[in-house]
């Protein structure tokens, strides 16, 4: 089975600062990778996905992620944090008919 | 734009009671799934279905039953609730059953078992 590791269960950044949320996966073959965002009391929404077309993937709300096979990583970044980015972020890997989620990173944006 | 609809949003049960969490989608998605979300553990797959009449177990299936009689509906049944089943449950569907399909989530059902 796949596994996904998100380093840092809580990340705080100042408004306007760089956002970096880390995700590493375990896979012996190129995976399909996803980042989802969850706002309070809501379901998860897709931010972006990697499906082997390009290593740098751009998503909604200014987020992007880079697939690095050598590091088995798929870190999420945003150049300038906004207050509305405060949420929980989940990295996920899919294999066959199953998705495997990381434990999540809660992002706090400090005004 | 209904998408994935879950009911109820909140439920309190006593140990040993049974109940069904309902999930319906109006996107004609073949793939549907149930997850539970617990603090510090992310989302864990309970059961999934790749089409009407086809279901399979995920990572944490014990204590839960599912059926898929129609493309639209995928109910999750708790036969005898236990406090360990206190959680937030999410239903999710996908158009594709291959690796590249994105999941569309419902808003969740918060279950408390006393």
Confidence of residue B99 (pLDDT cuts 50, 70, 90): low
Spatial contact of B49 and B66, defined as CB atoms under 8 Å apart = yes
Residue A95 pLDDT: 81
Confidence of residue B2 (pLDDT cuts 50, 70, 90): confident
d(CA A54, CA A62): 17
Residue A31 pLDDT: 75
Nearest neighbour of A90 by CB, restricted to B42, B45, B59: B42
d(CA B28, CA A86): 32
Spatial contact of B24 and B76, defined as CB atoms under 8 Å apart = no
Dump pLDDT digits (tens) for A15-51.
999 999 999 998 766 678 999 999 988 889 999 998 8
User: Using a CB-CB distance cutoff of 8 angstroms, which residues of chain A are in contact with residue B102?
Assistant: 34, 46, 49
Residue pointed to by tokens 């944090």: A81
Mean pLDDT of B100-108: 88
Looking at residue B101, the DSSP 8-state letter turns out to be P
User: Using a CB-CB distance cutoff of 8 angstroms, which residues of chain B are in contact with residue A34?
Assistant: 102
Instruction: Pick from A23, A35, A43, A98 the residue to mutate for testing the B interface (most B CBs within 10 Å).
Output: A43
Mean pLDDT score of chain A: 91
Residue of B40, B100, B101 whose CA lies nearest to A30:
B100
Provide the shortest C-alpha distance from residue A88 to chain B (in Å): 10
Report B:2-31 residues touching A (Cβ under 8 A). 4, 31
With helix as H, strand as E and coil as C, how does chain A read?
Answer: CCEEECCCCEEEEECCCCEEECCEEECCCCCEEEEEEECCCCCEEEEEEECCCCCEEECHHHCEEEEEHHHCEEEEEECCCCHHHCEEEEEEEEECCEEEECCCEEEEEEC
A25 close to B (CB below 8 A): no
User: Using a CB-CB distance cutoff of 8 angstroms, which residues of chain A are in contact with residue B59?
Assistant: 1, 98
User: Using a CB-CB distance cutoff of 8 angstroms, which residues of chain B are in contact with residue A8?
Assistant: none
């Amino acid at each position: 089975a796949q596994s996904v590791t998100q380093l840092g269960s809580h990340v705080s950044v100042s408004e306007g600062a760089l956002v970096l949320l880390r995700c590493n996966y375990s896979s012996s073959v190129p995976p399909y990778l996803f980042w989802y965002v969850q706002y309070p009391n809501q379901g998860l929404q897709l931010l972006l996905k990697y499906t082997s077309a390009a290593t740098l993937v751009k998503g909604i709300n200014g987020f992007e992620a880079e697939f690095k096979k050598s590091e088995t990583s798929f870190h999420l970044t945003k150049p300038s944090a906004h207050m509305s980015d405060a949420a929980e972020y989940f990295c996920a890997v899919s294999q066959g008919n199953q998705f495997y989620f990381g434990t999540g990173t809660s992002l706090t944006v400090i005004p | 734009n209904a998408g994935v609809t879950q009911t109820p949003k909140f439920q309190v049960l006593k140990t040993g009671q049974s109940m069904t969490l309902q999930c319906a989608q109006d996107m004609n998605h073949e793939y549907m799934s149930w997850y539970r979300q617990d603090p510090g553990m992310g989302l864990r797959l309970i059961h999934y279905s790749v089409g009407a009449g086809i279901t399979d177990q995920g990572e944490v299936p014990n204590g839960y039953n599912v059926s898929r009689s129609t493309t639209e509906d995928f109910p999750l049944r708790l036969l005898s609730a236990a406090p360990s089943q206190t959680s937030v449950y999410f239903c999710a569907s996908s158009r594709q059953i291959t690796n590249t399909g994105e999941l569309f989530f419902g808003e969740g059902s918060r279950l408390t078992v006393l």
